[in-house]
Structures are given as C-alpha cells and as structure tokens.
Amino acid sequence: MFQKDVTYEEFLNRIHTDELFLRSKGLWDVPHPWLNMFIPKSRISDFNVGVIKSIILNQNLTAVLVLVYPLNRNK
C-alpha cells in the first residue's frame, strides 16, 4: 500500500514540489506521456506489480511523477 497523509494546502499544491524537482534535473520541459485511467479495486494489486514495480522501479526511473486518486464508486 502506498499512502501519504498531507495537509489540505499540500494537497492543493502537490505538483509544485515535483515540478521543482524535475526543473532541477532539466526534465520539466521534456515531453512526457499523460495517461488517465480507472483501475478496478480488484486489479489494483496487479497494476502495482505489473506497472509500478516491474516497469517504473525496475528501470530506475527516478524522475517519474505518478498521481493516484482513489475514487468511491458509490458517490
């Protein structure tokens, strides 16, 4: 499980820190893919193993920004 508790202000400004980091590496202006997707709760573990661990972590992609927004389907 990946979880990070932040204040409301930190949540609203969540991209800024990553932007500063990428700018310091000269990577902010590099074209990057943008992908939005819904992953069912029943498959999130498969996504974690198949994408996060197998691709991102194994390839040492240190400047990767991944935003995950859990949604409540009942609301």
| 59-70 as b/e: b if 16+ CB within 10 A | eeeeeeeeeeee
Determine which helix (DSSP H) or strand (DSSP E) holds 10, and give its type and residue range. Answer: helix 8-12
Between CA 74 and CA 42 the distance in angstroms is 16
Between CA 11 and CA 13 the distance in angstroms is 5
pLDDT, tens only, 10-21: 878 878 888 898
Chain centre distance of CA 42: 19
pLDDT, tens only, 45-68: 998 888 888 877 777 766 556 677
Mean pLDDT (whole number) for 21-35: 83
